[in-house]
Amino acid sequence: MTSHHILGNALSAKIDRNVDEGNHKVEGTVAFPDVGGAQVGVWEVEPASWSSIGNDEIFVVLAGRGRVDFTRTGEVADLTPGATVRLYKGEPSVWHITETLRKIYVINPTAEATHEF
C-alpha cells in the first residue's frame, strides 16, 4: 500500500553512496518529494574535510559529529545529533566531519544570496 503521508524513516533510509572526487568525500542523498518548491531529503557523508559555498538551507543533524567553520564570520557550528543549522546561499564555509554524519535538510533552490559574504 502506498501512502501519501509516510515517506520513510530518515534515521534508517538506505543511502546509495557516491564519491565526490573534487572534495575527496563519500556522500549520498535520499530525496523526498518537494514541499512548496523546497527540496527535502536526507544526506549522509563519511569523515572528511572540504570547503563549500552554501545553499539557502536549514538542516537538523540526525547522527554523527563534526563542525562547520563559517569563514567570513568566524562562527563555528558544532554538529551533533539534534543540532539545527542555517546556511545562507553564497556563504563560504569549511566542513570537518569526524564521524559519519546524517542530516535531514530543506533547501530553497530559487533563493538568491541575501547576505554579503
Q: Rounded to whole angstroms, how far apart are CA atoms 55 and 19?
A: 20
Count CB atoms within 10 A of the CB of residue 113: 13
**Which pTM does this prediction carry?**
0.85
- Give the total number of structural domains in the chain: 1
Q: Is residue 10 part of a domain?
A: no
Name the average pLDDT for the chain.
87
CATH of the domain at 92: 2.60.120.10
Q: Is residue 79 part of a domain?
A: yes
From 9, 11, 8, 6, select the one nearest 82 (Cα to Cα): 11
pLDDT band at residue 1, thresholds of 50, 70 and 90?
very low
Q: Is residue 3 part of a domain?
A: no
Q: Is residue 97 part of a domain?
A: yes
Q: Is residue 5 part of a domain?
A: no
Q: Is residue 49 part of a domain?
A: yes
Q: Is residue 76 part of a domain?
A: yes
Is the pLDDT reported for residue 115 higher than 60? yes
Per-residue pLDDT of 43-54, as tens digits, reads 999 999 999 998
Q: Is residue 17 part of a domain?
A: no
Per-residue pLDDT of 96-105, as tens digits, reads 999 999 999 9
Q: Which domain holds residue 38?
A: 22-107
